[in-house]
Structure 1
Amino acid sequence: MKSLSRASLVLMTSLLALSLAACSGKKAEEHTPTSEQGGEHGEAHGSQPVAKWTYDGDTGPMHWGQLGGAELCGTGQRQSPVDIVGQPKMQLSHMLLNYNSVTATIQNTGKTIRVTPANGGELDLDGDKYPLKYVEFHSPSEHALNGHQSTLESQFVHVDAEGHTLIVAVLYDIGAADPMLGSLWTYLPTDPGQPMPLADLLINAQDLMPGTQDFYVYSGSLTTPPCTEAVTWMVYASPLTVSAEQADAFQRLIGPNARPLQARNARDFFRVVGTN
């Protein structure tokens, strides 16, 4: 099995065989997530401002495509999240998770909990470096594996120097408590507001991930308005666990914040195993 460069990764994740920049039809910075409060992955730089949106009611996911600036949520053909089914083709990739143990902030945006590390490191995929920008959480999980939707999903948003977005997703099922999440959850802000320092706590993204490098990979989109496409998703094949108490703490604070599953359309999934 051969190694994957960014170009080959993008080719295999789209039957259209287009590069990330070409398939978006936009400049690189136009699909770079921002840290704007209120959105899961923020609004895209240079894009039309998105009208107010929510996770329910007349401005909920079923209506996002009708909101100003979010038309792609209704018309896009490569939208996320998806149900990853079957036995995808296997590929090998040279992968290094070069994350740092650093200080960070935590924020209740009103729609999610966001943790932003200071110089959190990067994911190196066959020599292509994707710096980590922030981590966000969703309950229930946005992605599903063979029809199974987990209790919680964390999403590690990376953006490279050219503006390409890569998001690593970790699913959590109910089971033993997760110690690192337990440390984070002691700082959960009860009300929406500005980022607050995680005092006396260093964050390393790898501590919040499984110990394997086994992913399902596909080409998709941001899961909140404006639902920008040309996003590479790497979903860990092995879920972690959280306790019922940890899941309840998040759900009581934020409430349901998962976009419904989207149509697969003409897309392939791949199983990528990292090697050092």
Structure 2
Amino acid sequence: MVDRIEIRDSAMRIATFALSGLLLFSLAACSGGEKAAHGDEHAAPDHEAGHGDGHVSAGETLTQWGYSGDEGPSHWAQLGGAAAKCSSGARQSPIDLVSGGKPQLSKVTLDYLSSNATIQNDGHTIKVVPAKGGGLTTDGIRYDLKDIHFHSPSEHTINGRRAALETHFVHRSAKGDYLYVAVLSQVGVADPMLAPVWTYLPSDQTAPAAIPDLLINARDLMPAAEEFFVYSGSLTVPPCSEGVTWMVFSAPLSVSPEQVSAYETLLGSTARPIQARKDRDLLTVISAG
């Protein structure tokens, strides 16, 4: 018998319980109010606003968001409404992931499919949307893959070290709970699996366009070793909704300087600063099958 990750509607934290000699991990899911605020990251209407040149004064409502200046992360709460979480939230992402403690076994099944997909430059990221990309299952709960998108430099850090690129795999359950898988990539040799996708990088902000003659399988863009940091956090873009379960691969991949430059030439820096971990638990989990 093995340990398992269980996602519950609880106090939005990772709690560890002893049960008949097993460890049962309870990962917080979204509350009803937070679900209403959720959209796929970079996909909800208030995520679509482009960059502008307007300056924002204290107390003034922000109408667009970005990653620098008066539209940058320190001003996101000025978007109003649910975006207040960007400054007031207690469980925000990204965080620094610190190694330590004995890894725990967990039942996680990665079951991705090769699929046709679209690609889009939405002004904030490059987003790839598979038509039918499969997903993952943990503790009998299915999470379907909704999109794949990128940040440069990495948003999460591991032991204080930032990587050159971070790939987010956005998943959602039938109940509307969100689970994000993240992969950090360090500068080194080119990523051969990423290269075909990069061939179709849109140079301008446009609507989604089909990727011709290429099937996308999310598993090809992930490390072989299924070991993760797991914690309860938030979206890393407005409205910064909390109740997101994060599974970040502990092993990095490699990307070439040219692959990083191709992304940054189009979008610049697209990483939210590190947020306070506060009292959240952080687990190291190894998949048991």
- Same fold per TM (> 0.5)? yes
8 Å CA contact 2:62–2:71 kept in 1: the answer is: no
SS of 1:71 mapped into structure 2: helix
By how many angstroms is 1:92 displaced?
1.4
Q: Say yes or no: does 1:208 pair with 2:221.
A: yes
CA distance in 1, matches of 2:208, 2:77: 29
CA distance in 1, matches of 2:6, 2:281: 17
Q: Which residue of 2 is the match for residue 44 of structure 1?
A: none
8 Å CA contact 1:37–1:109 kept in 2: the answer is: no
* Structure 2 length-normalised TM: 0.85
Q: Which residue of 1 is the match for residue 243 of structure 2?
A: 230
Q: Which residue of 2 is the match for residue 78 of structure 1?
A: 91
By how many angstroms is 1:13 displaced?
1.9
By how many angstroms is 1:37 displaced?
6.7
Q: Which moved more, 1:52-61 or 1:29-38?
A: 29-38
Q: Which residue of 1 is the match for residue 262 of structure 2?
A: 249
Structure 1 residue runs without a partner (length 5+): 41-48
Partner deviation per Cα, 1:187-231 (whole Å, 9 max, x = no partner): 000000100111000000000000111000000000000000000
What aligned pairs does 1:10-21 form with structure 2 within 5 A after superposition?
A: 13=14, 19-21=28-30
Q: Say yes or no: does 1:39 pair with 2:47.
A: yes
RMSD of the alignment, in Å?
A: 2.3
CA distance in 2, matches of 1:27, 1:85: 27
What aligned pairs does 1:79-94 form with structure 2 within 5 A after superposition?
A: 79-94=92-107
Q: Which residue of 1 is the match for residue 272 of structure 2?
A: 259
8 Å CA contact 2:105–2:285 kept in 1: the answer is: yes
Aligned-pair identity (%): 49
Q: Which residue identity does 2:68 align to in structure 1? A: D
CA distance in 1, matches of 2:150, 2:87: 23
CA distance in 2, matches of 1:112, 1:123: 23
Q: Which residue of 2 is the match for residue 140 of structure 1?
A: 153
Which runs of at least 4 in structure 1 moved beyond 4 Å after TM superposition? Answer: 8-12
Q: Which residue of 1 is the match for residue 68 of structure 2?
A: 56
Q: Which residue of 1 is the match for residue 118 of structure 2?
A: 105
CA distance in 2, matches of 1:136, 1:83: 20
By how many angstroms is 1:273 displaced?
0.6
- CA distance 1:175–1:67, shift in 2 (3 Å): same
Q: Which residue of 1 is the match for residue 55 of structure 2?
A: none
Instruction: Count matched residues.
Output: 265
Q: Which has the larger radius of gyration?
A: 2
Q: Which residue of 2 is the match for residue 120 of structure 1?
A: 133
CA distance in 1, matches of 2:105, 2:163: 26
- CA distance 1:105–1:38, shift in 2 (3 Å): farther
Q: Which residue identity does 1:3 align to in structure 2? A: R
Q: 2:252 aligns with which of 236, 239, 243?
A: 239
CA distance in 2, matches of 1:229, 1:12: 11
